[in-house]
A = this chain, B = another copy of it.
Amino acid sequence: MTDSAKASSEHANSAAKTPELQTGRSVRYVVGMAHGQVVEGQSASRRGRPGYDLESLLAVAVAVFNERGYDGTSMEDLSRRLGISKSSIYYHVDSKEDLLALALDRALGALFSIADQVMEPASGEPAIVRLERLVRGSVQVLADQLPYVTLLLRARGNTSTEREALVRRREFDQIVADLVAEAERDGDIRPDVDPAVTARLLFGMVNSLVEWYRPGKRATSAAELADAVCAVAFDGLRIRRTGNSAGRELGTIE
């Protein structure tokens, strides 16, 4: 309570310094109202344009969730980081969990869009080709939607929204495991590792990107990353005694 009182007095101070509306992700829009006390009339036009649209508000919320953990983040924390009152957040969403649901849906939607393409029955491609396309597509999704997928991969099932997301993650994992099993039956993938374990190791490697890949910091593109993941996973690190060491050809048993 002391903290929030301090925060709202800070808001009032900065509002006095910068009375004009500001938009954009990194600037603060100070509405000068605290803790649900909406001053009608004065705020009517502001409510329609509260400094953040849902998209930019979600981006900030997801960043805070990733920093502090979803459970460790309160609406008060979000309000402070956004520099707007809690009422202004409630203009866009009904609850903190709504923000989580939007973020997890975005990550899952992007991943399933790749999975759906790959599982298209008309494709007629061998399972190993589809598996590689799924890996490449997923790397691209991780790079494009990094904060959203990070949040998804850290979901532990503490809320019903997280539990639903975990169910969908398991569906995705099953698609991967089925492709690995099919590629094994085709004779394209080594049969000495259990398909479920193989699938988990493969996506363990893919998912590790959220821990270390920072698009702004390094020049490595998502396509280069996808090349590296596929090189390690499909062909292995060790240089082959015979044949093309960097070979991307499909190996088949004859």
Interface residue ranges, A against B (CB under 8 Å): 67-69, 71-72, 128, 153-154, 156, 158, 180, 187-190, 192-194, 197-198, 200-205, 207-209, 211-212, 220, 225, 227-229, 231-243, 245-247, 249-253
Contact = CB atoms under 8 A, between A and B. Distances in A.
Given A158-B68, A204-B204, A236 B235 contact: yes
Copies of this protein in the complex: 2
A134 to B, nearest CB: 13
Contacts of A239: 187-190, 251-253
B193 A204 contact: no
A128 B238 CA distance: 8
Contacts of A241: 243, 247, 249, 251-252
B252 A192 contact: no
A242 B245 contact: no
23 contacts: A69-B69, A72-B72, A128-B238, A153-B211, A154-B154, A180-B237, A188-B239, A190-B237, A190-B245, A192-B231, A193-B227, A193-B237, A197-B225, A198-B232, A200-B212, A201-B228, A202-B237, A233-B237, A234-B236, A235-B238, A240-B243, A241-B249, A241-B251
Contact of A228 (B156, B198, B220, B245): B198
B235 A189 contact: no
Contacts of A237: 180, 189-190, 193, 198, 202, 233-234, 236
Contacts of A203: 208
Contacts of A228: 193-194, 197-198, 201
Q: Which among A235, A236, A253 has the highest number of chain B CB atoms within 10 Å?
A: A236
Contact of A208 (B207, B225, B243, B249): B207
